[in-house]
Amino acid sequence: MSFAFMLLAIDVGNTNIVLGVFDGATLVQSWRLQTVRERTSDELGLLVDGLFAHSRIERVRIRGVMLGSVVPPLTGTIRAMVQRYFGVTAITVEPGVNTLMPILYEVPSEVGADRIVNAVAAYEKFGQDSGRPLIVVDFGTATTLDAITAAGEYLGGAICPGVQISADALFQRAARLPRIDVRKPTRVVGRTTVSAMESGLFYGYVGMVEGLVRRMSDELGGNAVSVATGGLAEMIAPETTLIQHVDPDLTLHGLRIVWERNQT
């Protein structure tokens, strides 16, 4: 696989580091690594080098790198890796500085890079031609809901514990409850401890998301378009009619759009 020019987008999250290679606006390859804060730049470089080799993508084709990170201890490590293994300087997302989206948060620098690039991508893909406000629901380590005005301004949102965090908390804090994986149960009324926990976690999150989306949409005028992304989006979004779009690669596309804006 060989292109004249490619962009590498890197999303550093609390659970995973997601990398995506773009040819123009097309995401041609993506990978997901576990976030380990103690990894060195050389360890990450060797992992990334192996991923590129396995996919037959030449590292020398990468001429731009856009980095969004919510894990400060890894930000410098990733930048050092990019400089050494790709020979380019990564552009780091700085909310309110280089995202070119007005941020109405009281302290713009407090907004996570992932939330802003999600908002940028959602507005460009689903909002700017509709004339309607947007709500982005990201099912990540935390479940975040972000509101974007019809004019393309980042307004604010809500942050909730992620569903896996809640499952782990039940196991850790209740002596008789087991550790379970999050999945859709066959019925709402569980008849065993495990099925009751599965129901509470899964349908409880569906209800929480529906309630927050409905209330946020009312504050935005009642006609907001809702977009879901993140690891559990494709599992939970189909359970509610309040989410119109699911885009698992929304964050990577947001990084690409921010990079393109900074080139002009």
Q: Which of 70, 44, 221 lies closest to 138 in space, CA to CA?
A: 70
E runs forming strands in the chain:
6-12, 16-23, 26-34, 62-69, 91-92, 134-139, 142-148, 154-161, 225-230, 245-246
DSSP 131: T
* CATH entry, 108-248, from 3.40.50.300, 3.40.50.11260, 3.40.228.10, 3.30.420.40: 3.30.420.40
* Residue with token string 């927050």: 212
Answer yes or no: same fold for 6-92 and 108-248. Answer: yes
Domain boundaries, the chain: 6-92, 108-248
Which pLDDT score is estimated for 3? 46
Residue 182, classed as helix, strand or coil, is coil
The pTM of this model reads 0.90
Backbone angles phi, psi at 46, to 5 degrees: -65, -40
Which pLDDT score is estimated for 4? 62
CA distance 257 to 149: 18
C-alpha R_g of the chain: 19
Residue 103, classed as helix, strand or coil, is strand
For domain 6-92, give the CATH number: 3.30.420.40
Which pLDDT score is estimated for 248? 94
The DSSP annotation for 217-239 comes to HHHTTS--EEEEEETTHHHHGGG
Which pLDDT score is estimated for 2? 44
Which pLDDT score is estimated for 232? 85
Residues 11, 114, 138, 247: which is the catalytic one?
A: 114
114 in catalytic set: yes
Q: Which of 251, 249, 255 lies closest to 65 in space, CA to CA?
A: 255
Predicted confidence pLDDT, tens digits, the chain (264 residues): 444 689 999 999 999 999 999 999 999 999 999 999 999 999 999 999 999 999 999 999 999 999 999 999 999 999 999 999 999 999 999 887 788 899 999 998 899 999 999 999 999 999 877 889 999 999 988 899 999 999 999 999 999 988 888 888 887 877 777 777 888 888 999 999 889 988 988 999 999 999 999 999 999 998 999 999 998 899 888 999 999 999 999 999 999 999 999 886
* Residue with token string 């948060």: 105
**Any bridge partners for residue 230, and if so which?**
139
Burial of 247 from C-beta contacts in 10 A (0-12 / 13-18 / 19+): buried
CA distance 119 to 77: 26
Q: Token pair of 90, please? A: 């990564």
Quick one: the chain helix, strand, coil %, rounded to 5?
40, 25, 35
Which pLDDT score is estimated for 124? 94
CA distances to 88, 94, 157, 168 from 112, in Å: 24, 9, 11, 24
